[in-house]
Structure 1
Amino acid sequence: MDSLLQGGFADPVLNSQTSFRAIMDALANPGTPQDLVTPQSISHSLSPELVSTLLTLSDHDTPVWLDARLRADGTIGTWLGFHSGAPLVDAPEKATFAAASGAGQLPALDQFNLGTQEYPDRSTTVVLAVPSLSGGEMLVLRGPGIKDHLHISPQGLPADFIAQWSANRELFPRGVDLLLVADGQVMGLPRSTRIAEGH
């Protein structure tokens, strides 16, 4: 029980507000990393950045999907229930928020809830922990919230990410939003963003 109590924000209201603002800024400014408040994790499977986003976004009304690696660590589900009351779901398409500890643990994006034409906001927001938000292959972003274009180079994306993202964007206004987390930061890739390989 002690570890469950310790695995949260030091100042739950202030810290969650700060991280919520960072996540909103990340989605409003695609590809621009924002600083999260990162509490100590209660499991080596769950990065501090995943802890921060889960504590910030989830509550008893938001079904959460955890990847198989995170689900296998029973401590994480108990911890999340203790801090947020969020129900866990086994099916990705039933999740409001999804947390993946790495690209190898992430189902295809179209396996999540893509929303409907009437309620596109009911789609899943996917949070993917990556090794770093820089140092990977160059990608070019265009779209709302980006002046002209922006280069990013996160490490640890799925091998077929560009194709998956292109299919996701074609569903607009449906489709998932993606949050990449690493290095104490969050980078937002909303469904409206166009992503291409850099040259």
Structure 2
Amino acid sequence: MQTEALTGGFAAAPTEAALAFRAVMRAMARPGTIEQIMGAEPPPPLSPAAGAVLLTLCDPETPLYLAGAVDTPMVRDWITFHTGASLVDRPRAMFALGPWSALLPLADYPIGTAEYPDRATTLIVEMAQLTHTGARLTGPGIATTAALSLPPDMAAFQRNAAQFPLGLDFLFTSGHDLAALPRSTRVEGQ
């Protein structure tokens, strides 16, 4: 393990983890909002927001899949040291992290079952930036409509929402920004 992997976690873990957890929950409850999430300094190419999400939601019982550019020895060591999460292949992942193109195809991830819809994968998608422009969102937690800059594959998000109560949930991270797209959210073109 590289010694750099030992740094970059929460300095005040209980407080920062609680703040990060609240930011994730607010983002999930209000799709299309962009939350700030602080406290983590993961190794590149992970964003601070993605690092904070991992520190908050992952533990030794969490199967995590790393896709594309984020699957580096340094990132693997950092995650192992700070969370103890098991690094697995796609079909066994509770969480999957990476850029959109590396996370595809979405059909490879568990979407839950009728008895256990919570056994679906949550994808943590690293984005260049997050803005309140682009796709039009409607559904629970949105008063009328919201807008969010999503990856350009609207059909994938529409197919996912059509499976509700099954389906994938998405967390989008960029810098210190975090947004969410739960499976219950309907997505229309830009």
Return the match for 1:148 from 144, 151, 162: 144
CA deviation map 1:90-138 (0-9, x unaligned): 2x121111111x22222122221111011000100110010111276x2
Q: CA deviation at 1:25?
A: 0.6
Contact 1:89/1:95 (CA < 8 Å) preserved in 2? Answer: yes
Instruction: Give the structure 1 partner of residue 8 of structure 2.
Output: 7
Distance (whole Å) between structure 2 residues aligned to residue 178 and residue 27 of structure 1: 9
Letter paired with 2:49: E
Moved over 6 A (4+): none
Q: Tell me whether 1:176 sits opposite 2:168 in the alignment.
A: yes
Q: Tell me whether 1:45 sits opposite 2:54 in the alignment.
A: no
Contact 2:132/2:146 (CA < 8 Å) preserved in 1? Answer: no
Residues matched between the structures, number: 189
Alignment of 1:23-172 (within 5 A): 23-42=24-43, 44-71=44-71, 73-90=72-89, 92-100=90-98, 102-134=99-131, 138-154=134-150, 157=151, 159=152, 161-172=153-164
Q: CA deviation at 1:76?
A: 1.4
Distance 1:68 1:151, change over 3 A: closer
Distance (whole Å) between structure 2 residues aligned to residue 70 and residue 152 of structure 1: 23
Contact 2:32/2:132 (CA < 8 Å) preserved in 1? Answer: no
SS in 2 for 1:4: helix
SS in 2 for 1:195: strand
SS in 2 for 1:163: helix
> Tell me, which stretches of 5 or more residues in structure 2 are unaligned?
none
Contact 1:19/1:53 (CA < 8 Å) preserved in 2? Answer: yes
Identity of aligned residues (%): 35
Instruction: Give the structure 2 partner of residue 188 of structure 1.
Output: 180
Letter paired with 1:60: P
Q: What TM-score results when the alignment is normalised by the length of structure 1?
A: 0.89
Contact 1:108/1:164 (CA < 8 Å) preserved in 2? Answer: no
Letter paired with 1:47: S
- Superposition RMSD on alpha carbons, in Å? 1.5
